[in-house]
Amino acid sequence: MSGKREDYLSWEQYFMSVALLSGQRSKDPNTQVGACIVDPRRRIVAVGYAGFPRGASDDELPWAREGAPLETKYPFVCHAELNAILNRNSADLAGCTLYTTAEPCAMCAGAIYWANIGRVAYAMTEARLLELTGSDAQNPTFALPCRTVFAAGQKDIAVLGPFPDVEDEAAAVHEGYWDAHRPGGVASVPAPHEPPGPAGGDPLL
Ligand SMILES: [Zn+2]
């Protein structure tokens, strides 16, 4: 009798892969972040990606980054973590883990805090995202680690990340875009986003 497979995905690899896959649902031209929330029994209770709120048309609202405020996407797009929290199918997120492809910004860290999520795992740091976006006027990325936001709160939220074995995959959807779309920037084709597969190298955790 043979034993079980040994090279299967760990739970953490699996849930981060779900977050990466969810990001591929995003229609956002430049920020295809995905997220996934898992309860203490390892059941997925929410997924989300950068996009308009449920019920808002992907075709009628604007995706532009520049122009009059209401002609741009910014008043309408919800970040992946926020969409996951808003569309969860569990009333209670206490003890849950939120997996996200990019480190939560200050806004999403606040939402995670108030939603009582107890643990966060992210693939790519916000600092790396800032390196990719630069000081772009249309996307002024925070330089504020989510650990710093949580440390100012009154409850313990465990933070795991970044994970080098999937960080490159999480960053790939952003690479090239910002240089090409920055005034005076070098036009280049964004790197193709390979479907998530079994993560190689060191395990996530
Ligand atoms: Zn955010």
Cα separation of the two ends of the chain: 30
pTM tops 0.85, yes or no: no
Higher-confidence residue: 29 or 79? Answer: 79
**53, 78 contact by CB (below 8 A):** yes
> pLDDT band at 164, cuts 50/70/90?
confident
Confidence of residue 8 (pLDDT cuts 50, 70, 90): very high
| Dist. CA 87 → ligand 1 center (Å) | 15
User: How far away, in angstroms, is 182 Cα from ligand 1 center?
Assistant: 21
- The number of helix segments (H) and strand segments (E) in the chain equals 7, 5
Centre of ligand 1 to C-alpha 109, Å, is 7
Q: How confident is residue 190, by pLDDT bands cut at 50, 70 and 90?
A: very low
Distance (Å) from CA 6 to ligand 1 centroid? 36
d(CA 39, CA 50): 21
Mean pLDDT of 146-155: 96
What is the Å distance from ligand 1's center to 33 Cα?
9
Q: Name the band, by pLDDT with cuts 50, 70 and 90, for residue 189.
A: very low
- Active-site residue among 6, 66, 81, 194? 81
Residue 154 pLDDT > 80:
yes
pLDDT at position 111 is 97
* 194 a catalytic residue: no
Residues 148-167, mean pLDDT to the nearest whole number: 93
